[in-house]
């Protein structure tokens, strides 16, 4: 299991400070660049972090028509990030198109599909997607698997079922991790590290419990130890 830290600080300086502070663990840690950082600091920020030695997950959750998604995927691959994601609800045809477009790259990033956002309660999810989270997340995961993606973004609580219904090698990346009982914030389906391990999660994503901590490095070390 790998630790992926969400760099969602309100400014670039704090994100860089954190990345430099835990540089000695860069080989074991992935950094997640999401909307906030990417919109504000653009691709140069990716290059800066990569130069420190980190693996980069670009969390832009693509959702559009198939051709536009494939165009975006191609541009992302040119940035040489290690992983990015799309929404599974954009459909199997769009995901196939993305993978087809990436096939021309000798070394392409891993591609994950978001199943159900970890901030959704079952009720909220059902209102939008018409099914319970577990059932739909498995359906989405199967679509992504059949489209040739590398894995999915889901909560810890769907990870095992998704692997059982696809392959044990199909990656699961789970946000909503609260390692030491921290506040859930807007997340609804949270879990700790032991629970993630039991559910065979490949990547845990931790944001606020690290970047909002008084001593982020200590939290990172505690997490790495538990992993
Ligand atoms: O601060 P926290 O640990 O809740 O951060 C979780 C991170 O994972 C955020 O950057 C959020 O955008 C992202 N994420 C998520 N749920 C998903 C996909 C991504 O929370 N399904």
The pLDDT value recorded for residue 168 is: 97
61 is catalytic: yes
- φ/ψ bin of 148: left (φ > 0), alpha (ψ from -120 to 50), beta (otherwise): left
The pLDDT value recorded for residue 143 is: 98
Mean pLDDT of the chain: 97
The pLDDT value recorded for residue 154 is: 96
Q: Model-level pTM greater than 0.85? A: yes
CA 78 to CA 217: how far, in whole Å?
A: 32
Q: How many Cβ atoms are within 10 Å of 173's Cβ, its own excluded? A: 26
Tell me how far the alpha carbon of residue 155 lies from the centroid of ligand 1, in angstroms: 10
* Residue nearest atom 3 of ligand 1, based on CA coordinates: 207
Backbone angles phi, psi at 107, to 5 degrees: -120, 110
Which of 62, 155, 175 has most ligand 1 atoms within 8 Å of CB, for mutation?
175
Summarised one tens digit per residue, pLDDT across range 162-200 is 999 999 999 999 999 999 989 999 999 999 999 999 999
Tell me how far the alpha carbon of residue 107 lies from the centroid of ligand 1, in angstroms: 26
Ligand 1 atom closest to Cα of residue 116: 21
For range 18-28, the mean pLDDT:
96
71: domain range?
A: 2-226
Summarised one tens digit per residue, pLDDT across range 100-122 is 999 999 999 999 999 999 899 99
User: Domain holding 198: CATH number?
Assistant: 3.20.20.70
Q: Give yes or no for residue 118 CB within 6 A of ligand 1.
A: yes
Beta-strand pair 203-206/2-6: parallel
Summarised one tens digit per residue, pLDDT across range 62-89 is 999 999 999 999 999 999 999 999 999 9
Q: How many Cβ atoms are within 10 Å of 203's Cβ, its own excluded? A: 23
Q: Structurally, how many domains does the chain consist of?
A: 1
Q: Give yes or no for residue 97 CB within 6 A of ligand 1.
A: no
Q: Could you tell me if 118 and 139 are in contact, meaning their C-beta atoms sit under 8 angstroms apart?
A: no
Q: What percent of the chain has pLDDT over 70?
A: 100
Of the pLDDT bands very low, low, confident and very high (cuts 50, 70, 90), residue 133 is: very high
Q: Give yes or no for residue 153 CB within 6 A of ligand 1.
A: yes
């Amino acid at each position: 299991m790998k630790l992926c830290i969400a760099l969602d600080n309100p400014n670039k300086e704090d994100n860089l400070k954190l990345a430099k502070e835990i540089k000695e663990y860069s080989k074991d840690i992935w950094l997640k660049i999401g909307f906030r950082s990417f919109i504000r600091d653009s691709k140069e920020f990716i290059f800066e972090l990569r130069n420190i030695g980190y693996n980069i997950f670009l969390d832009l959750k693509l959702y559009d028509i198939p051709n536009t998604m494939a165009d975006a995927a191609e541009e992302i691959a040119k940035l040489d990030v290690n992983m990015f994601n799309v929404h599974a609800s954009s459909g199997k045809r769009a995901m196939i198109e993305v993978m087809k477009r990436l096939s021309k790259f000798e070394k392409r990033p891993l591609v994950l599909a978001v199943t159900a956002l970890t901030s959704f309660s079952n009720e909220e999810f059902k209102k939008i997607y018409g099914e319970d989270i577990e059932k739909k997340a498995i359906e989405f995961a199967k679509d992504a698997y059949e489209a040739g993606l590398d894995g999915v973004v889901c909560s810890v609580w769907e990870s095992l079922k998704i692997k059982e219904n696809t392959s044990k090698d199909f990656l699961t990346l789970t946000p909503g991790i609260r390692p030491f009982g921290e506040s859930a914030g807007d997340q609804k389906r949270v879990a700790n590290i032991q629970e993630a391990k039991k559910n065979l999660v490949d990547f845990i994503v931790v944001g606020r419990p690290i970047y909002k901590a008084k001593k982020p490095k200590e939290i990172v070390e505690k997490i790495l130890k538990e992993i």
